[in-house]
């Protein structure tokens, strides 16, 4: 809506510029397209068109160009709504708010949860892979950033009209899996999650750590793990049974973590099921000459064409590697669901891997290799550096979540709101999750971020709970209004009453929301939604603080402001859905 008005003005001014140019220069010239901006201060209008770019061609000061354009446009009968403002070298527009608000209210309150959605992806089939845990240890903070991003980007793509399929890949085979199995076999004494009362994924993780200790004492440990992998690939019954048992424990534990953090998938893939296809494809590629074999039997690809070295695809003992199975996984995915785009949400440390993977698939002749995309996100670091499992500095996902939920619970109790809230634990969990998702998503995905376990997650300021609190306050106010609804029968909505600076800013933000959703979708970037969400919440908060809404003296004013609050709430709720924050009516 706002976008249409901008474009209309842009077109009109460009037309006038062209006419003006022809008068001065006596010939047709190509003019640079007009740029659209937002003025830095409200009194300068709502849309800005800088005219510097034309000064040279016109041989006139931009201030003069602006003046002439303004005079000429003002006498035109047919022009878009709004008023022209001269601001030096800028030609600005002040929007006609009354008509904008009227249309906006109808649109937002009719479309409701769908307000802001677009169809820029035009039903495109997009598969998105994220999470991808190993079955040898529990989830940590790094996985949480991955999960938050995966869920959020999926929601954002759906809101932009994509047909999204969320997939997970369980990394359940490989030497690292054998390590925890071997340690369990040696030191486990038949311990189970039930007997030890340890969550399955944590129990398996315990033996992965144990392996690392044992490895230091026994130099044959790694070789033993490799032997186990060979046995596993041969289908040795004892090995497979142990593998099944321990994987089951881990997957149970992961399922619980996913449930708590609101992570869901349409389909699960398992490396154990895809690596064989990968192996076949590598051997076929060897036959067709895409790959080559060393004397020891290992299979390689030469990456000289893309200025890289060479990469091993099958070990000399014939077992598969990470790359081998990823080739198989991609191929079987395209067979299962012929995607038009496949997005891998994987940390930036694997950029090399994906560059090579995409190249290999292209060399193997898959035309869809060009539709593969690595959504690379930055590392989550701790104040003193990287998380290291060996140094015990890994932030465990379950612990972190539980601590946050506990803090939220205490906060509710401190405020003596336990009885007012819709379930203490339920609300505390929703607050914890909102805090976590917002914290992880507000940073540009491509950038590394620092997480301070002590200070990072607060419930005040630019945080998830702040946003939830704004939602709850609006919700509370609207409930009160509904209770007194009879007092307002027949009072019409009058948009011309919304004239304060905050009200105008709120209207603009509401009107601009669809653009924000679009931008977040095209850039695969939830942080755009986050900063917009904070901006509108903060603006609402200031407005609410300085103005009476439900308590306004005049009934018409109450109705006008309540409707604006409704629109703000709708945008906040729709934003919440895109970044994994629960909307709470009370908190």
Partner RNA sequence: GCGUUCGUAGCUCAGCUGGAUAGAGCGUCGGACUUCGAAUCCGCAGGUCGAAGGUUCGAAUCCUUCCGAGCGCACCA
- For RNA, the binding residues in 421-450 under the rule CB under 7 A are 431, 442-444, 446-450
- Residue ranges in 37-96 that form contacts with RNA under rule CB under 7 A: 37, 39-41, 44, 48, 50, 52-53, 55-56, 87-88, 90, 92
- Residue ranges in 474-513 that form contacts with RNA under rule CB under 7 A: 475-477, 480
When binding is defined by CB under 7 A, the residue of 118, 224, 332, 462 that contacts RNA is: 462
Q: How many CB atoms lie within 10 A of CB 339?
A: 22
- Residue ranges in 17-36 that form contacts with RNA under rule CB under 7 A: 35
Contact status: 363 vs RNA (CB under 7 A): no
Phi-psi map region of 198: left, alpha, beta (phi>0 left; psi -120 to 50 alpha):
beta
- Residue ranges in 161-190 that form contacts with RNA under rule CB under 7 A: 171, 174-176
- Nearer to RNA (CB atom), residue 242 or residue 457: 457
Q: At what angle do helices 527-546 and 501-522 cross, to 10 degrees?
A: 170
Question: What is the C-alpha separation between 369 and 359, in angstroms, rounded?
Answer: 8
The residue among 459, 461, 458, 440 whose CA lies nearest residue 449 is 440
Contact status: 259 vs RNA (CB under 7 A): no
Segment contacting RNA by CB under 7 A, of 203-211, 313-321, 331-339, 493-501: 313-321
- Nearer to RNA (CB atom), residue 74 or residue 452: 452
Segment contacting RNA by CB under 7 A, of 71-79, 160-168, 244-252, 291-299: 291-299
Smallest separation (angstroms) from RNA to the CB of 91: 9
Contact status: 473 vs RNA (CB under 7 A): yes
Segment contacting RNA by CB under 7 A, of 6-14, 366-374, 460-468, 483-491: 460-468
Q: Which pair of tokens denotes residue 539?
A: 């603006």
Contact status: 204 vs RNA (CB under 7 A): no
Smallest separation (angstroms) from RNA to the CB of 446: 5
Rounded to 5 degrees, φ, ψ at 319 are -80, 165
Contact status: 350 vs RNA (CB under 7 A): yes
**Which residues have C-beta within 8 Å of that of residue 403, sequence separation ≥ 6?**
none
**Interface characters, 219-258, with RNA (x: CB under 7 A):** ----------------------------------------
What DSSP state is assigned to residue 496? G
When binding is defined by CB under 7 A, the residue of 34, 528, 529, 579 that contacts RNA is: 528
Contact status: 541 vs RNA (CB under 7 A): yes
Q: E strands along 41-171, which residues?
A: 47-50, 83-87, 90-94, 125-129, 163-170
Contact status: 286 vs RNA (CB under 7 A): no
- Nearer to RNA (CB atom), residue 110 or residue 384: 384
Question: What is the C-alpha separation between 49 and 543, in angstroms, rounded?
Answer: 28
Smallest separation (angstroms) from RNA to the CB of 347: 7
Q: Which residues sit opposite 503 in a β-bridge?
A: none
Question: What is the C-alpha separation between 503 and 495, in angstroms, rounded?
Answer: 10
Smallest separation (angstroms) from RNA to the CB of 24: 18
Q: How many CB atoms lie within 10 A of CB 259?
A: 10
What DSSP state is assigned to residue 52? G
When binding is defined by CB under 7 A, the residue of 550, 556, 557, 566 that contacts RNA is: 550
- Residue ranges in 105-164 that form contacts with RNA under rule CB under 7 A: 134
Distance of CA 521 to the CA centre of its chain: 9
Contact status: 298 vs RNA (CB under 7 A): yes
- Nearer to RNA (CB atom), residue 111 or residue 379: 379
Q: Which pair of tokens denotes residue 222?
A: 């790694």
- Nearer to RNA (CB atom), residue 132 or residue 242: 132
Q: Give the chain's radius of gyration (CA, Å).
A: 29
Report whether 397 contacts 142 (CB < 8 A). no
Quick one: CA dihedral 140, 145, 148, 150, positive or negative? negative
**Which residues have C-beta within 8 Å of that of residue 111, sequence separation ≥ 6?**
117
């Amino acid at each position: 809506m706002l976008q249409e008005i901008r474009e209309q003005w842009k077109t009109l001014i460009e037309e006038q510029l062209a006419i003006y140019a022809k008068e001065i220069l006596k010939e047709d010239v190509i003019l640079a397209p007009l740029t659209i901006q937002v003025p830095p201060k409200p009194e300068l209008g709502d849309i800005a068109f800088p005219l510097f770019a034309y000064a040279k061609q016109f041989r006139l000061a931009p201030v003069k160009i602006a003046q002439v354009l303004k005079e000429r446009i003002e006498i035109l009968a047919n022009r878009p709504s709004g008023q022209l403002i001269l601001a030096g070298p800028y030609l600005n527009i002040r929007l006609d708010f009354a008509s904008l608000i009227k249309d906006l209210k109808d649109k937002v309150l009719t479309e409701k949860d769908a307000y802001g959605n677009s169809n820029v992806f035009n039903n495109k089939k997009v598969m998105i892979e994220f999470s991808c845990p190993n079955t040898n240890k529990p989830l940590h903070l790094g996985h949480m950033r991955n999960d938050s991003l995966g869920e959020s980007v999926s929601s954002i793509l759906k809101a932009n009209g994509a047909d999204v399929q969320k997939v997970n890949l369980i990394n359940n085979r490989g030497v690292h899996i054998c390590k925890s199995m071997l340690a369990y076999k040696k030191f486990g004494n038949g311990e189970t999650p039930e007997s030890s009362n340890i969550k399955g994924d944590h129990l398996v993780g315990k033996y992965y750590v144990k392996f690392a200790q044992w490895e230091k004492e026994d130099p044959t440990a790694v070789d033993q793990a490799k032997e186990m992998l060979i046995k596993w690939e041969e289908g040795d019954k004892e090995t497979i049974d142990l593998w099944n048992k321990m994987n089951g424990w881990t997957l149970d534990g992961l399922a619980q973590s996913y449930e708590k953090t609101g992570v869901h998938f349409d389909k699960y893939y398992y490396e154990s099921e895809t690596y064989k296809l990968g192996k076949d494809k590598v051997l076929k590629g060897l036959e067709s000459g895409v790959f080559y074999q060393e004397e020891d039997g290992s299979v390689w690809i030469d990456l000289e064409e893309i200025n890289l070295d060479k990469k091993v695809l099958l070990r000399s003992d014939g077992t598969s590697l990470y790359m081998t199975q990823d080739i198989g996984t991609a191929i079987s995915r395209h067979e299962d669901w012929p995607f038009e785009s496949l997005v891998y949400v994987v940390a930036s440390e694997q950029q090399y891997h994906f560059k090579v993977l995409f190249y290999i698939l292209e060399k193997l002749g898959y035309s869809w290799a060009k539709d593969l995309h690595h959504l690379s996100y930055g590392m989550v670091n701790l104040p003193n550096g990287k998380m290291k499992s060996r140094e015990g500095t890994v932030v465990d996902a379950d612990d972190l979540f539980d601590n946050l939920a506990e803090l939220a619970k205490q906060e509710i109790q401190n405020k003596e709101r336990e009885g007012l809230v819709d379930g203490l634990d339920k609300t505390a969990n929703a607050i914890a999750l909102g805090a976590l998702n917002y914290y992880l998503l507000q940073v540009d995905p491509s950038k590394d971020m620092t997480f301070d376990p002590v200070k990072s997650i607060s419930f005040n300021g630019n945080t998830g709970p702040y946003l939830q609190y704004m939602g709850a306050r609006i919700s509370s106010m609207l409930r009160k209004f509904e209770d007194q609804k009879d007092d307002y029968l027949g009072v019409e909505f009058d948009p011309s009453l919304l004239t304060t600076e905050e009200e105008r800013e709120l209207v603009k933000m509401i009107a601009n929301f669809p653009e924000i959703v679009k931008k977040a979708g095209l850039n695969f970037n939830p942080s755009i939604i986050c900063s917009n969400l904070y901006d509108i919440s903060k603006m609402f908060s200031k407005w609410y603080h300085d103005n009476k809404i439900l308590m306004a003296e005049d009934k018409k004013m109450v109705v006008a402001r309540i409707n604006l609050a409704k629109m703000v709430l709708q945008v906040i709720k729709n934003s919440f859905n895109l970044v994994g924050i629960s909307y709470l009516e009370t908190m």
